[in-house]
Structure 1
Amino acid sequence: MSSPTHANSYYAASANDKALRPQLTGEKRCDVCVIGAGFTGISTALSLAEKGKHVIVLEANRIGFGASGRNGGQIVNSFNRDIDYITKHYGDEIGKKMAKMAFAGAELIRHRIEKYQIDCDLKHGNIFAACNEKQFGELKAKKALWEAHGHNELELLTQDSIQQHIGSDRYFGGLLDRKGGHIQPLNLVLGQANAFEQLGGEIYEDSQVMRLEEGKPGKVVTTQGQVIADKIVVAGNAYVFGLLPEVEKKAMPCGTQVITTEPLPKALQERLLPSDKCVEDCNYLLDYYRLSGDGRLIYGGGTTYGARDPGKIESIIGPKMLKTFPYLKDIKIDYAWTGNFLLTMMRMPQVGKIGDHLYYAQGYSGHGVTNSHLMGEILSDAIDGETERFDVFASMPQYPFPGGRMLRVPYTAIGAAYYNLRDKLGI
């Protein structure tokens, strides 16, 4: 039987730790069993281990196999829906509590990188790039909103000043967030996994969970073994199927694609991104890009609904890259891959508890790097009896996609096409 492998990505090729953890066999006992070794699962496990809990993590494939090891690597603050939207739709009290958490994920990532000396090419600062005047106006409003909630490391970039950061004439202006940043995401999750193991935690790869059995304690059954645990956390996000059907129908897997160039000459790197910040534009179907630690351009974008993998990623993303940077037309693409993230109806993370011992978190809707780290800490606190932040998320309604599995893909694709047209028209 062949061992599970990562997607053929730049991240997998440059991973600091390529060791395969053992498969679970026989029966194990622990305080908490976490299903999924991505950002949410490992963040939860590490936070629990820091509290002295005995935790076992089960992963069907490899650590960081899903979105955690395939994303754009951008540390972007707040949620897919910002503080003003949350306040409008959920009320002032929830809005104020969510505002206190909007920038906590980025802070936690930096704290762990420093505490555990994780080598993941951390660089500081991200830029939201406006493609038209309407988007630039929205960035002005975002700056005022975030500053009203205590985030003061922001700079509005004019059409002229943004070119000091991005070697492209595509943009009307932008917003620089110095509390944002970028990392090699697979190395970030692997570094935290190693820290978790150093604290006595256990990780089993190639250990797909087949079913959960209710009880006190609960039972998690894999293909070759089982774990008896007082508490269970389901943290597989877009890569968990069939364990919690009622939860899974509330979110939809979506695919995004990434390409990575060959290493670029230093002069070309400085032409592309002179300040070495990561960038995402303000379109509904956005482009995002940054320079890697070894000087490659990592460029992502596009969305396929229902987690369909496109056959030719480079043909989808290559033209997007060349629209932004036409002078890269002769640059070789070394890697191209796709990965799935999980979209929710309200574009907000979904967090909850089933019975007395089973917890779940899912659906970061494109803001998973920061939100998943935050959610791990929140789940850990809730399991340890501190439920204030957990209760805020859990109190928000979680709607299923209309039409169930058969119709949610076309409905959402139609909506995406509408917003894509709005992006092009600048309305």
Structure 2
Amino acid sequence: MNNAALSYAGDGSHVASYYAASANPAPERPRLIGTHDVDICVVGAGYSGLSTALHLAERGHKVAVVEGARVGWGASGRNGGQIVNGLNASLGTIEKRYGTQTAAAVGSMVQEGGRIIRRLVGTYGIKCDLKEKNLFAAYTSKQLRELEAKQALWRKYGMDDHELVDKTSMRRHVASGAYVGGMIDHSGGHMHPLNLALGEAAALERLGGTVYEMSPVIEVKRRGPLPVAKTSAGALRCKTLVLCGNAYLGHVVPELEPRVMPVSTQIVATTPLGDRARELLPTDICVEDLRYILDYFRLSADGRLLFGGGTVYGGTDPTDIRAKLRPNLEKVFPQLKGVRIDYAWSGNFALSLTRVPQMGRLDANTYFAHGYSGHGVVGSHLFGRILSEAIDGDLTRFDTFAKLPWYPFPGGRALRVPYSVLGSWWYGLRDRLGI
């Protein structure tokens, strides 16, 4: 393995997560060796890159994807597996910042990512334990009012899939006394995220696309008639380049680095719980709460509780993930006190200052998408489709996002982490005080 891979991905293998342990069989794909000419090169075999490549291949384009580690090595293969519609920045925030016209355009798209996932799963027979619905859980009456406002706002933009539930009804879905109520999104869902990524890569190859693994891009050359993505052992020269490295692109493209900050989040998986699993979550729904630093959880196909939460700004891993998450797990489910935890892992997502994902062009034939800010499962699939539309000549939806302003984190690289930590401390205090 070359030093570039070792610098951020170890030996390139998936982290020791429950998802890696239960992944569907997948081939080891070739490294990029030598210089090759392709029509379209996509950097990154996570959801953004795979969705872009798949949609382009379905439109008849010849596409090659180059990945620094294994397919789905980053956030796409480690996340909570929840299909939660919307962006990190709410429709209400977007409406206030950018106006009703932009909010209407975004509102017309926010459920599309989930529909794309379901279509890909059905069309290509992807086995990823896809299940329906997600639940937003409220700790306080204030949070419950926020859900009522969200339901009304989404109805305003033509979406009526949300069902408010009171404290009694919550117990039919979650065996916890922690919540005063919540809201079900009937268009949400959950799945095995790594198996989804592996299935999408296989689907791309069935359509004639190529995936290179263990080939980290170390340089992007955009001067000259054609952009080139270089690795230590090869290069892809292309007519169109799409950058989808997200939190793991690093210093390869300096223009993109100040736009986002890597942030890590953590997940644990208990031992299989047997009959207790359905006692905890009787309707097998996935759940996330409404706090600034939230918890999220669901059941795996073999009856484990997958419980995630916490953030580390800058993208480093906690020294003891189990110790960090166990208190919150046992607060929500006291009946699991002392339960064995079989897996614990961490992974980075890319945070943008505005909490709105970014899409754009660095020049006429170099596109990028990143900064989903913790809502990348649906956003990345949507952005992949929109990028494919733009590359195919239809810039209508691409321009909706490309024209939105972005801002660097205050203080630049040196101070972006402490500033963000200070902000998260403040909002975390508000969560604890219930204000």
**1:401 lines up with 2:409 in the alignment:** yes
1:177 corresponds in structure 2 to 185
2:246 counterpart of 1:237: yes
Q: Is the Cα–Cα contact under 8 Å of residues 350 and 372 in structure 2 kept in the other structure?
A: yes
Q: Does 1:75 align with 2:78?
A: no
Q: Which residue of the other structure, out of 9, 12, 15, is the alignment partner of 2:23?
A: 15
Question: 2:6 matched to which residue of 1?
Answer: none
Structure 1 counterpart of 2:122, which letter?
E
How big is each residue's C-alpha offset from its partner over 1:6-46, in whole Å with a ceiling of 9 and x where there is no partner?
00000011110342111010111111100000000000000
Query: 2:7: which partner in 1?
Result: none
Secondary structure of 1:65's counterpart equals coil
Partner Cα separation in structure 2 for residue 260 and residue 48 of structure 1: 36
Counterpart-to-counterpart distance in 1, 2:56 and 2:370: 19
CA deviations 1:156-196 (Å, max 9, x no partner) are 01011111000000001000011000000000111111000
1:216 is displaced (CA, Å) by 2.1
Tell me, what secondary structure is at the counterpart of 2:35? strand
Answering whether residue 127 of structure 2 is matched by residue 119 of structure 1, we say yes
Q: What amino acid maps onto 1:171 in structure 2?
A: Y
Identify the range of structure 1 (337-346 vs 244-253) with the bigger mean alpha-carbon deviation.
244-253
1:365 aligns with 2:395: no
Q: Which residue of 1 aligns with 2:236?
A: 227
What SS is found at the alignment partner of 1:242?
A: coil
Query: Does 1:43 pair with 2:51?
Result: yes
Aligned partner of residue 23 in structure 1, secondary structure: coil
* Residue in 2 that maps onto 1:93: 101
Q: Report the counterpart of residue 265 of structure 1 in structure 2.
A: 274
Matches within 5 A, 1:367-382: 367-382=375-390
Tell me which amino acid in the other structure corresponds to 2:77.
G
The superposition leaves residues 91-146 of structure 1 with CA deviations (integer Å, 9 ceiling, x where unpaired) of: 12211111111111111111111111110000101000001111000001111111
Q: Residue in 2 aligned with 1:249?
A: 258
- In the TM superposition, residue 210 of structure 1 has moved relative to its aligned partner by 1.1
Q: Percent identity?
A: 50
C-alpha distance in 1, partners of 2:360/2:25?
Answer: 32
Ranges in structure 2 where 5+ consecutive residues have no aligned partner: 3-10
Residue 227 of structure 2 is matched in structure 1 by 218
The CA deviation string for residues 323-375 of structure 1, in whole angstroms up to 9 with x for no partner, is: 10011123211100000001111000011101111101110011000000000
Answer whether contact 2:321 2:345 (CA < 8 A) is retained.
Answer: yes
**Could you give the per-residue CA deviations for residues 223-275 of structure 1, whole angstroms, max 9, x where no partner exists?**
10011100001101001111221211111100000000111112x11211000
The whole-number CA distance in structure 2 between the counterparts of 1:217 and 1:244 is 16
Normalized against structure 1, the TM-score is what?
0.98
Q: CA deviation at 1:4?
A: 2.0
The two structures have a TM-score, normalised by structure 2, of: 0.97
Aligned letter for 1:157?
Answer: V
Q: How does 1:153-192 map to 2 (within 5 A)?
A: 153-192=161-200
1:147 Cα deviation after fit: 1.8
- With 294-303 and 236-245 compared, the bigger mean Cα shift is at 236-245
- 2:30 is paired with a residue whose SS is coil
Which letter does structure 2 place at the counterpart of 1:404? G
Alignment match, 1:151: 159
- Provide the C-alpha distance between the structure 2 equivalents of 1:401 and 1:54, rounded to a whole number of angstroms: 37
Give the match's secondary structure for 1:164. coil
Q: Deviations over 1:280-321 (max 9, x none)?
A: 000000000000111110000000010111111000011110
Q: State the distance in 1 between where 2:172 and 2:100 align.
A: 39
Is 1:286 aligned to 2:294, yes or no? yes
CA RMSD of aligned residues (A): 1.0
Q: Is 2:314 the counterpart of 1:306?
A: yes
CA distance in 1 between partners of 2:225 and 2:180 (Å) = 58
Q: Which of 105, 115, 121 matches 2:113?
A: 105
| Superposition deviation, residue 57 in structure 1 | 0.4
What is the alpha-carbon distance in structure 1 between the residues aligned to residue 421 and residue 403 of structure 2? 28
Map of 1:129-140 to 2, 5 A cutoff?
129-140=137-148
Output the CA distance in 1 between the equivalents of 2:164 and 2:101: 29
Distance 2:295 2:103 in 1: 28
Residue 202 of structure 1 corresponds to which residue in structure 2? 210
Greater Cα offset, 14-23 or 184-193: 14-23
Corresponding letter in the other structure for 1:54? K
Q: Give the Å deviation of 1:153.
A: 2.1
Distance 1:66 1:105 in 2: 19
State the secondary structure of the residue aligned to 2:171: helix
Aligned equivalents of 1:93, 1:145: Cα separation in 2: 14
Q: For 1:256, give the aligned amino acid.
A: T
Give, in whole Å, the separation in 2 of the partners of 1:102 and 1:386. 19
Q: Secondary structure at the match of 2:152?
A: helix
Between 90-99 and 63-72, report the one with greater CA deviation.
90-99
CA distance in structure 2 between the aligned counterparts of 1:410 and 1:330, rounded to whole angstroms: 34
SS in structure 2 of the partner of residue 89 of structure 1 = helix
2:219 touches 2:229 (CA, 8 Å); kept in 1?
yes
Name the CA distance, whole Å, in 2 between partners of 1:40 and 1:65: 13
Q: How far apart, in 1, do the equivalents of 2:315 and 2:321 lie?
A: 14
Map 1:274-353 onto structure 2 (within 5 A): 274-353=282-361
| 1:220 CA displacement | 1.1
Partners in 1 of 2:26 and 2:122 — Cα distance? 22
Supply the distance in 2 between the matched residues of 1:377 and 1:424 (Cα, whole angstroms): 39
Aligned residue pairs: how many? 426
What stretches of structure 1 of length at least 5 have no aligned partner?
none
Q: Distance in 2 between matches of 1:31 and 1:131?
A: 51
